[in-house]
Amino acid sequence: MSLRTNMKTIAIAGIAAAFTLTAVSNVHAAKRVKWKMQNAWGATVPHLGTSAVRFVKAVSDMTEDKFQIKNFEPGALVPPLECFDAVSKGSIESCWTTPGYHAGKHPAVSFFTAVPFGPGLGEYVAWKWFGGGQEMREKLYNKFGLTALDNFCIGPETSGWFKEPIKELAQLKGFKMRFFGLGAKVMTKLGVSTQLLAGADIYPALEKGVIDATEFSMPTMDINYGFYQIAKNNYFPGWHQQTSCSELLMNKAKYDALPGQYKAVLTAALGDAIIHTYAESEAKNPDAMQKMAKDHGVKVQVWRDDQLAVFEKHWNEVVVEESAKDAYFKEVADNFYAFRKNYAIWGDAQRMKSTYLK
């Protein structure tokens, strides 16, 4: 090795060491911060709850315990569906939740969780992060003293647990059903009386007959809630939630007061949670489906194409009607669909079918 090369290597090593020492000293110098985080799901609920546990550990590890976020079980601080107001008032700093749980605050917020007949993960987060979705959420949330970042995403869900097979959609008229997000407005058009219940409240409601049917999430989670004990018919596809992204909802003043280093840590830990949770759920759902069928007698039912066409027709009507009623809903919907139209130039060109598994 030449002297010049050796000196260059020493210089690079010195810069790297200095950078490391600076990073370490920054951690040691950073102030201690403690936050409370209400989890909308139990810590043992696959994907939804376990991602929160993983997240708070990552934040603690990356800051050498200087930034501690304590994860609270559902209802420990506030009811799962009341996080919006609690965080807005500053009663707690944050919630591990989903925009769809705040639908009562504004009809447009559900666009930031899942959209009926919506896109896959790549296209959805492309809209949220680079197409204006995040900015539109912030514009709405900031009015309430809130800010939010995506915390995890999961793929398609199932679209309902029913006690008896639904041969024709007319059977749904008069049903009482737990339903999430914008899809609930579609079900209402079919004569279904919908209500939003937190995960832990669904089984008791189904058991007591308060509701006749429910949707919640995907096999890996639904099996834990035991819906199959009452309703054996699980319907696919999850037309109402093809991709779902939840959020770390934060009090804006508390977030703004964080050191830049801690904000970067949040971004890094949440980015990891998004891809980890999506991949984990996709990997584990096939086995969960088989287990439910084999061990619990669950029947996988698939909506016919003509039935899906009815759901989609009603969804298109919902978009038009809600847009006419609320200017901001229209602004979000227009932005979303303009992005999808442009994305199709790329997306449609890449679609192909494999014959390998046939």
* Residue 265 shares a structural domain with residue 128: yes
One-letter-per-residue 3-state SS of 139-159: HHHHHHCEEEEEEEEECCCCC
pLDDT digits (tens, 9 = 90+) for 249-300: 999 999 999 999 999 999 999 999 999 999 999 999 999 999 999 999 999 9
Query: 112, 88, 118, 82: which is closest to 198 by C-alpha?
Result: 82
* Residue 256 shares a structural domain with residue 308: no
CATH of the domain at 200: 3.40.190.10
Q: Is 10 within a domain?
A: no
Q: Is 4 within a domain?
A: no
Q: Is 126 within a domain?
A: yes
Q: Is 22 within a domain?
A: no
* Residue 92 shares a structural domain with residue 218: no
Q: How far is CA 151 from CA 12, 233, 244, 272, 356, in A?
A: 36, 31, 11, 9, 35
* Residue 248 shares a structural domain with residue 237: no
* Residue 80 shares a structural domain with residue 110: yes
Q: Is 275 within a domain?
A: yes
Q: Is 277 within a domain?
A: yes
* Residue 216 shares a structural domain with residue 94: no
- CA 146 vs. chain centroid, Å, equals 18
Please say whether the beta carbons of 264 and 36 come within 8 A.
Answer: no
Mean pLDDT of 321-327: 97
Q: Is 209 within a domain?
A: yes
Query: 354, 333, 356: which is closest to 132 by C-alpha?
Result: 333
Q: State the total domains in the chain.
A: 2
Structural domain span for residue 236: 160-241+298-345
Q: Is 352 within a domain?
A: no
* Residue 224 shares a structural domain with residue 269: no
* Residue 234 shares a structural domain with residue 310: yes
Count of residues in the chain: 358
* Residue 67 shares a structural domain with residue 178: no
pLDDT digits (tens, 9 = 90+) for 193-238: 999 999 999 999 999 999 999 999 999 999 999 999 999 999 999 9
Average confidence score pLDDT of the chain = 92
For the chain, first and last CA: distance in Å? 58
